[in-house]
Structure 1
Amino acid sequence: MTETIRLSADDIRRLRNLAEQIARTETVAARYTIEIAERFHLTTGRTALNVLAISDDPDWEDTDLNTTHPWLRIRERHALANGRALFDLYIYERPAFGETGDLICCVQAELDARGLAAVHAENARDIWRRPDSPAELPADPPQ
């Protein structure tokens, strides 16, 4: 059976607030649009919202952006890979309702079986980390 996670309303609110806070360090906008990246593996062609489901590379350089999906998909139940998930979030300015402006930055959300574990900016790890979450994720068990 595949282990799954559905983020709590508190985790979703925290993630959105942190993503917008990170975006504000780049530009001040009245509104932001957050989209979840679906990435594809460059060799296998497999796609996933959870980067860890398709890549063992710690920098996921073996993947690229396939498309993005609306923020509402964060409320879905997501499959974990070895007990973890990593989402790549794209934050855009939203100049008017229904419009997507320029890309401001990307934020990564790290999840585990208990929910949101950490949030990272493009060039900074651990912008936020759940107090009981380990600083470094354990290596995947040998196959």
Structure 2
Amino acid sequence: MYEKDLSQEQAVLQAAIDYILSFPMQSPEEVPSELASRPGLIRLEFGPLVRYPAFQFRSDARTQELVEEINRILKAQDDPWAIASWWFYPNRSTTDEAMPVEPLDNPSRHDELISLAQGEVADDQSRWS
């Protein structure tokens, strides 16, 4: 019975990984080295595969800073796959149940995204205290 449960868990995990990797990604060769080392970026590793979600690399400096700030709030370096899923799955706490990645190009919603990330951290802290 344990093997069956483990197999189901692995299937769910693989489906989540496949879903996240279905979004635009950049390889390490595509990411400028001065950006790749920033602690506010999600770096996904799966076996020999390394990818960076492409939404993190913005031509608009203000939005780029927002993404890095949110990733730092959520501690992306500690669990990058969990934080990638936070960005890519619909969130009932957004005003329109959007994926948090969707309103990035709307500056009027940037405060909402910061609040959403801060709320996520507060929820996690209260859950474990």
TM-score norm. by structure 1 comes to 0.22
- Structure with max Cα Rg: 2
TM-score by length of 2: 0.24
Q: Which has the higher helix share?
A: 2
Higher relative contact order (CA 8 A, sep 6+): 1
Which structure carries more strand by proportion?
A: 1
